């Protein structure tokens, strides 16, 4: 149980493109979803916390207009990197949790902006 699916697993695109990443909880309803960014050999950096039906809460320093988060249902959250540039290249990971349970993670999306 507690499977989180994240798509796509890898994206390579040109600078200026907007990229959408989907995160789905397959066998449970997620009260909260989280979006992280991870650089090589570094810890997970929380970007935003998303509750279904409400606006995402962004961490300090994360541009909400750059990283658009939509949490349309209890099983789906999307992260859109708008007008991506090479400095946005990173490993993006989502997680989902239900009440009083640990976070369960997707397998991440490797984003490469040329």
Q: How many residues does the chain have?
A: 114
Contact window for other proteins (CB under 8 A) among 14-22, 70-78, 79-87, 104-112:
104-112
Q: Is 90 in the site for other proteins (CB under 8 A)?
A: no
Residue 13 half-sphere exposure, CB side, CA atoms within 13 Å?
Answer: 18
Rg of the chain in Å (alpha carbons): 13
Phi and psi torsions of 105, nearest 5°: -105, 150
Considering only residues 24 to 53 of the shown chain, the ones binding other proteins according to CB under 8 A are 32, 34, 41-44, 46, 49
Q: Minimum CB separation from other proteins for residue 4, in Å? A: 8
- Which helix or strand (DSSP H or E) is residue 35 part of? strand 32-38
Binding-site ranges for other proteins (CB under 8 A): 2, 4, 6, 32, 34, 41-44, 46, 49, 57, 91, 93, 95, 97, 102-108, 110
């Amino acid at each position: 149980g507690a499977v989180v699916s994240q798509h796509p697993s890898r994206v390579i695109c040109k600078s200026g493109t907007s990229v959408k990443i989907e995160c789905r909880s397959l066998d449970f309803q997620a009260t909260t979803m989280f979006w992280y960014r991870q650089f090589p050999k570094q810890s997970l950096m929380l970007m935003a916390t998303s509750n279904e039906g409400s606006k995402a809460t962004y961490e300090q320093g994360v541009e909400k207009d750059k990283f658009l988060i939509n949490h349309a249902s209890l099983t789906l959250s999307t992260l859109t990197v708008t007008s991506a540039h090479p400095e946005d290249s990173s490993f993006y990971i989502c997680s989902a949790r239900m009440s009083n349970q640990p976070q369960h993670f997707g397998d991440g999306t490797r984003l490469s902006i040329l």
